[in-house]
Amino acid sequence: MGAHGKRVFAAAYSLLKNREDAEDVVQDTFLRYYTCRKQFDSEEHLRAWLLRVAINRARDLLKAAARQRSVPLELEPGIEAFPSDESRELFRAVTALPEPYRIVIHLHYYEDYPVREIARVLRLPQATVKTRLFRGRELLKKTLKEDTP
């Protein structure tokens, strides 16, 4: 899986919390890429398009009534180990966020997207992205504070 594939997988997994479903999204996303005849202005434009398609496809899967399975990350084969307990705890807290906050946090902190690009990828106003980032960070602080003895 190339660099774009890993990013698409990470975005899909952050929404779906399931390796098999995330892999399906990656496959669907790249199938759509190879069958579309869209011209991209740059690698960044391609990356944003791939992430937008993957996020939309992942959301479609979440809406499906048949989707009832979820496997804890520790049981997922092939997922790289976390460098520390803190990063594992943070990842768990991020994946527990409600979807609107989880995706903007993922794009901003894991994909290094600026607010302007997140707004473009998700087709949201920049103010909405900023609000979701703020509220997501507040929820993370609260969650991580509660987990600390």
Domain count, the chain: 2
Q: Which tens digit of pLDDT belongs to each residue from 38-71? A: 888 888 888 889 999 999 888 888 776 444 444 4
pLDDT(9) > 80: yes
Question: Confidence class of residue 80 from pLDDT cuts 50, 70 and 90?
Answer: low
Q: How many CB atoms within 10 Å of residue 79? A: 13
In angstroms, the CA 54 to CA 10 distance is 10
Based on the fold, state whether residues 16 and 67 are members of the same structural domain.
Answer: yes
Q: Domain of 111?
A: 82-149
**CATH number for the domain including 115?**
1.10.10.10
Q: Which tens digit of pLDDT belongs to each residue from 107-137? A: 898 888 899 989 988 889 999 999 999 999 9
